[in-house]
Structure 1
Amino acid sequence: MEAMYTTGLNIHYFGVIVLMGVVVFNIVMLSLSHHLIRYSKRMRIVMPISGSLIALILFTGAVMMAAKHLHFTFANVAMIAIAIIMIILEAKRYKTLKRKTDITQEGAFSEYKKKAFRFLGIEISLLIAITFWMILQ
């Protein structure tokens, strides 16, 4: 049982690290992108990856909580809240691209970039904060 819990914890950590890499990749991809259509095509590939990683992290966290007999701690509640916030931010980022960015409108992509950088900055900040908090705990 202890080996399974350790394996689940390692998968959970790996998922968080890979999610950080995907968020950084999104930031780099957004900063280097100059064409809306190319960016939106790339984003349609990367977005399911980040969603799947968030789901992986939530699933492994739920399995580990079940192994601990659903013992809620403040850290568990904080991780669940951050996962929900990240899901909302990803949905807002996609919705902003889908609805508010018109190809014919001048400067629309630069306006989207400002909002997307803000969303991605919040995501990476939350990930780094909870990671360092869990390491120090």
Structure 2
Amino acid sequence: MNEMYDMSIVTHYYGVIGILVVIGLNAYMLLNAKELLSYKRQMTLFTPIGSTAIGTIIFTGVIMMAAKHLDFTIENILMILFALIIIVLEVKRAKTLKYLNSKADGALDGFKKFGMKIFLYEVLVVLSISIWMWL
């Protein structure tokens, strides 16, 4: 049981690093996007990677909670809440991108501002819980 818990902690840690890398790659792709249609196509392929990273963090957290006999501490409750916040932010970003009019002038520029704000919030959420857990 201890081995499973220790492995989950390591996997959870790398999952958090992975989600930060995915957010960084998303921001990089958004900043370098020149046309909206090609960016939408890229996001259609790349969004499942971000969802998998979020799923990895949630799955390893569930394994750790099971290993601790479902002990709901304040840290666990906050991590669940923060995971839900990240999921909601990603859904808002993806939904806005999906319904963005490709023919409108300046649509990509407006979305760049919105998307970068979402990515900033996601990084702040991930870093805030990570720093709190390290202390």
Identify the TM-score tier after normalising by the shorter chain.
over 0.9
What TM-score results when the alignment is normalised by the length of structure 2? 0.96
Match of 1:11 in 2: 11
Taking the aligned partners of 1:67 and 1:2, their CA distance within structure 2 comes to 8
Counterpart-to-counterpart distance in 1, 2:103 and 2:41: 17
Q: Distance in 2 between matches of 1:75 and 1:45?
A: 33
Deviation at 1:126, TM superposition (A): 0.6
In 1, Cα distance between equivalents of 2:87 and 2:130: 17
Q: Report how far residue 46 of structure 1 moved.
A: 1.4
| Mapped partners of 1:13, 1:134: distance in 2 | 11
Q: Which residue of 1 aligns with 2:104?
A: 105
Please report the RMSD computed on the Cα atoms of aligned residues, expressed in angstroms: 0.9
Q: Percent identity?
A: 40
Q: Please report the TM-score for the alignment, with normalisation by the length of structure 1.
A: 0.95
Distance 2:46 2:30 in 1: 12
Partners of 2:103 and 2:33 in 1: CA distance: 17
- Consecutive unaligned residues of structure 1, counting only runs of 5 or more, are none
- Cα distance in 2 for partners of 1:77, 1:34 equals 41
Please report how far the alpha carbon of residue 16 of structure 1 lies from its aligned counterpart in structure 2 after TM superposition.
Answer: 0.8
Aligned twin of 1:75: 75
1:127 & 1:45 partners in 2: Cα distance? 23
* 1:121 has 2:120 as partner: yes
Corresponding residue number in structure 1 for 2:33: 33
The number of residues matched between the two structures is: 135
Residue aligning to 1:53: 53
- Matched letter for residue 75 of structure 2: A
Equivalent position SS for 1:116: helix
CA deviation after TM superposition for structure 1 residue 123, in Å: 0.3
Amino acid of the structure 1 residue aligned with 2:39: Y
AA partner of residue 120 (structure 1): F
2:123 partner SS: helix
What residue identity is the alignment partner of 1:97?
L
Aligned partner letter, 1:116: G
